Structure 1
Amino acid sequence: MPKQLQLSHQQAVIRLREIRARLEELEQRDELTDEDERDFNELTTEFAEVDDHRRQLERRSALERVRAATQSSDRRPPALGVMPGTSVGSGYDADPILNPDSVEDRRFRNPWDLSEMRTFGRSKGEVTQELRSRALAAVEKMSGANDAVRAAGTDILERWDDADARIAKVCLATSGPEYLRAWAKVATGRGHMLAVEEQKALERAMSLTDTAGGYLVPFQLDPTVIITANGSRNQIREAARTVVATGDQWNGVSSSAVAWSWDAEATEVSDDSPTFAQPSIPVYKAQGFVPISIEALEDEANVTQEVAGLLSFGRDVLEAAAFVSGTGVGQPTGIVTALAGTSSVVTPTTAETFAAADVYKLDGALPARYRSGASWLANRAVYNLVRQFDTNGGSQLWERIGADVPAQLLGRPALESEDMDAAFDPAAAGDNHLAVYGDFSNYVIADRVGMTVEFIPHLVGPNRRPNGQRGWYAYYRVGADSVNDAAFRMLNVATAV
């Protein structure tokens, strides 16, 4: 049986509409190429087959209704396509061809088709639930994604989507096959070749952006999703707490240690309530550019996937520096910036000297409640200095457990960052932040799903003439900061002239 004859009634109707739109588009052209003629003939043949299939399904449905109506009066007709929790007579979520959509079971033949979705007379919570269910179904069905990307997309939706279903809306608008095809065309300078449905998909996605211009990266190619799925080359991101922001800033809740007390029987409990604070992390705009020659663009078989990988790599490199020393002004606040000048700074045992005692001092200065989940962060050059402290094996300072297990320092993971200070010069005055030690779940990275990309059709040289290159201009938003400085200790080997 041809694939199109396995369609449900609603899928058949949708396919007939798509074929009609494509035929009308071809009919409006002044001249048809041989390929267009073949396309026209194939579409008309397919239309006849799908239309016959639609009529057959309608006849079958009518016969089922006749059979149900003529059953014995003492037998209740079977409920067809009724969503759990709704009545038989409600008609909501019922499909006459026995192939129901189900919000609760996340079963949608086409989760991206929101024209099927009823909003009148339903509460905001019910609409949000269906949008999220459709988005989860879309993640399972979206093309161009592996299991890891699907798992990452599901996790982001289930953990971070808000009451307005903003992430779900972005997912539904940018993960569908029509949008993926449309984005691939506009990203390679073929925007004039968009079909009607592809143009509608682009317009729908553009309505979700904060500013006009540019196109959202497809959900399955978004660097936030890819980095979540494949891991980050930036080890701070691996250890930090990552959240997804849906607005201009992320708002959290933190508190001091919860105070408990021992009280006698039948006495009023004492006031042990902690003091709550609401840390907020603004998200900032980061931007990048990927140039490519016209020849490379024409020769690359899957340029959209390649560009998505380049954007993810460039984002990782940019963030690695910001998460260490970012100023917090127009960019994320780095962990070193957040801790500098606070009580979390630890001075060396001997001024202007870095020795084994300083490593132990840093470990001892961190409160025990943070020590169990603590990690080290330092430049590899600093770790190499630590390895040289114990030349005789006496203190067993540095630990390695197997070739495939990450190195540990005093039994805690040793994370590397090239942006941490690598050395210090006693002859030059200044601060030298050699190591950070603490529970990095208290350093929060707020990602905002939705990278936007604009295609630049021609790059120009110094004389303002085209140089045979095209490019992609991309921008996204991210923020980061420490929400609890007490969870960290930072070694500062300050020097003075």
Structure 2
Amino acid sequence: MIRLRDIRSRLEELERRDNLTADDEREFDELTREFSEVDDHRRQLERRSALERVRSAVQSTERTPAALRVERGTATNPGDGYDADPILNPDSVEEARFRNPWDLSSVNTWSRSREEVGAELRARALCAVERMRGATDPIRSVATDILERWDDEQGTIARMCLATSSPEYLRAWSKMARGMAHMIVPDEQRALERAMSLTDNAGGYLVPFQLDPTIILTSDGSKSDIRRAARTVVATGDIWHGVSAGEVSWRWAAEGSEAGDNAPGFGQPTVPVYKADGFVPISIEALQDEANVTAEVGRLLAAGKDTLEAAAFATGDGVGKPTGLVTALAGTASEILPTTAETFAAADIYKMEESLPARYRSGASWVANKRMYNLVRQFDVNGGAQMWERIGNGQPNELLGYPALEAENMAASWNPAVNGDNRVLVYGDLTNYVIADRIGMTVEFLPHLVGTNRRPTGQRGWYAWYRVGADSVNDAGMRVLNVKTTSP
């Protein structure tokens, strides 16, 4: 009630002004939304109070004679009062889970293992995903999948989700993004401090979970064909550790014979993650004119991230950045030379397909620069009809029946007069190429940018950084064509 009175007083003060500035207008809108949220919470408390009176009245009937007694539903947990009567309170089943999944003050850590606490945090995070604001259904689906598949036993991702998806944190982050930190109220400040406790000493503010570019790209679709075809995982540390194994060696067994040791040999591929950063400048006028700057910042960060990664996933050298698909296969047994030296011909397409084991071909794809595909179309007078399927008509191109993916950073040509490697075409099952995403992009807000004379330019900026890695974990499942050239 105290907060409601404070909001009302401030709204009345703003209403008495003859002319409101743009900041006043935004403050008025923020306070109006907050008043609605607090008032909804007040009404919910009043409903619960009324429900308790109903429960007390029903319990009093237990002291009446059996002939006059009114039977009621059996409580699932009689001691805690939850779900006491789903007929009188049909919403109690859902409310009994977590009335506020972001309120971690009720999480009991005493005499409980880290795994037990992690399990509760995960359950709360899954509940929070369903309630978090500013999220579409695809984003909720991706967030749920990440929590269920990649969270560790201690609930590392769940803890981050709870800290950065709450309504208080989203409001505080939005105010920070618009340069309105002075309007942050105490509960929003506490949400910021809780989230900042999950970051390292580099500072900055974690992007709200529902606006994390990794989640947005997964839900909306990445422009990088390699990312769409590769296997994507979530890393919670500096290195992603996987498990690989060969096939189990089955045998034909005679009756009563002892089983052989058919266990495969296990390996542990690793993918290190690297830091990438970006900067988004924006004028003060644009901030004032943009209706939903928070969502716009998330979109800009995701677009820049996608562009940077597309180049690294194709040809990244693995030094301070992900190892690209071409780089990972270069110089390995998966490298194929053309049938005719320094020449790319139709026979090389068939040679690559035949060299890949059958178990990988069912999920195989091609990856090349667009100019290489155009060259393939010129292999015969019919425009490559002997190999191409579904050309045009809104259908994706298929070369020999396999999707033809594009990577514009791969080689587009070669010079026969120069010594060099020209890896122009990749073919194989790209799930053997792993992209390890580290959930949790961090942003630092710069209130003013300055020019060469150290004077403000009328712009603000967001400096963002995140971490990602990529590498091949099974070269045998892919092939790369290298049109080597030598000087005459």
User: Is TM-score (shorter-chain normalized) higher than 0.5?
Assistant: yes
Aligned residues: 471
- Matched with 1:250 is 240
Partner residue of 1:135 out of 118, 125, 139: 125
How far 1:65 moved relative to its partner?
Answer: 2.0
Mean Cα deviation higher: 376-385 or 173-182 = 173-182
How far 1:481 moved relative to its partner?
Answer: 0.5
Partner residue of 2:52 out of 48, 61, 69: 61
Give the whole-Å Cα distance in 2 for the aligned partners of 1:463 and 1:44.
Answer: 44
Give the whole-Å Cα distance in 2 for the aligned partners of 1:433 and 1:106.
Answer: 59
- Matched with 1:338 is 328
Matched to 2:418, the amino acid is A
Question: Structure 2 unaligned runs (5+)?
Answer: 18-23
Partner residue of 1:149 out of 139, 143, 148: 139
- Matched with 2:306 is 316
Partner residue of 2:163 out of 167, 173, 181: 173
1:25-40 pair list within 5 angstroms: 34=16
CA gap 1:177/1:52 in 2 versus in 1, 3 angstroms? closer
CA gap 1:478/1:358 in 2 versus in 1, 3 angstroms? same
Q: Deviations over 1:294-331 (max 9, x none)?
A: 22222212111111111100000000011111111211
Matched to 1:397, the amino acid is M
Instruction: State the Cα RMSD in Å.
Output: 3.3
CA gap 1:102/1:289 in 2 versus in 1, 3 angstroms? farther
- Matched with 1:307 is 297
Partner residue of 2:153 out of 155, 163, 166: 163
**SS of 1:250's equivalent?**
strand
How far 1:129 moved relative to its partner?
Answer: 2.4
- Matched with 1:436 is 426
Are the equivalent residues in 2 in contact too, given 1:258–1:274 (CA < 8 A)? yes
Are the equivalent residues in 2 in contact too, given 1:294–1:470 (CA < 8 A)? yes
Mean Cα deviation higher: 44-53 or 485-494 = 44-53
**SS of 1:460's equivalent?**
coil
Q: Deviations over 1:12-37 (max 9, x none)?
A: xxxx47547868x97xxxx988479x
1:2-41 pair list within 5 angstroms: 16=1, 18-19=3-4, 34=16
Matched to 1:189, the amino acid is G
How far 1:120 moved relative to its partner?
Answer: 3.4
Are the equivalent residues in 1 in contact too, given 2:83–2:96 (CA < 8 A)? no
Are the equivalent residues in 2 in contact too, given 1:106–1:136 (CA < 8 A)? no
Are the equivalent residues in 2 in contact too, given 1:188–1:455 (CA < 8 A)? no
Question: Structure 1 unaligned runs (5+)?
Answer: 1-15
Q: Deviations over 1:186-230 (max 9, x none)?
A: 112111110111101111111111234111111111001101100
- Matched with 2:255 is 265
Q: Is the aligned partner of 1:449 residue 2:439?
A: yes
Matched to 2:241, the amino acid is N
Are the equivalent residues in 2 in contact too, given 1:430–1:495 (CA < 8 A)? yes
How far 1:170 moved relative to its partner?
Answer: 1.1
- Matched with 2:265 is 275
Give the whole-Å Cα distance in 1 for the aligned partners of 2:146 and 2:36.
Answer: 43
- Matched with 2:315 is 325
Matched to 1:200, the amino acid is R
**SS of 1:317's equivalent?**
helix
CA gap 1:269/1:44 in 2 versus in 1, 3 angstroms? closer
How far 1:50 moved relative to its partner?
Answer: 8.2
**SS of 1:419's equivalent?**
coil
CA gap 1:392/1:98 in 2 versus in 1, 3 angstroms? closer
How far 1:127 moved relative to its partner?
Answer: 2.6
- Matched with 1:8 is none
Provide the identity percentage. Answer: 59
**SS of 1:70's equivalent?**
helix
Are the equivalent residues in 2 in contact too, given 1:241–1:445 (CA < 8 A)? yes
- Matched with 1:420 is 410
Q: Deviations over 1:418-462 (max 9, x none)?
A: 011001110111100000000001100000110001111122222
Query: What is the TM-score normalised by the length of structure 2?
Result: 0.88
Mean Cα deviation higher: 452-461 or 72-81 = 72-81
- Matched with 1:494 is 484
Are the equivalent residues in 1 in contact too, given 2:377–2:383 (CA < 8 A)? no
Matched to 1:476, the amino acid is Y
- Matched with 2:350 is 360
**SS of 2:140's equivalent?**
helix
Give the whole-Å Cα distance in 2 for the aligned partners of 1:394 and 1:238.
Answer: 26
How far 1:493 moved relative to its partner?
Answer: 0.2
Matched to 1:61, the amino acid is E
Give the whole-Å Cα distance in 1 for the aligned partners of 2:36 and 2:352.
Answer: 76
Mean Cα deviation higher: 229-238 or 123-132 = 123-132
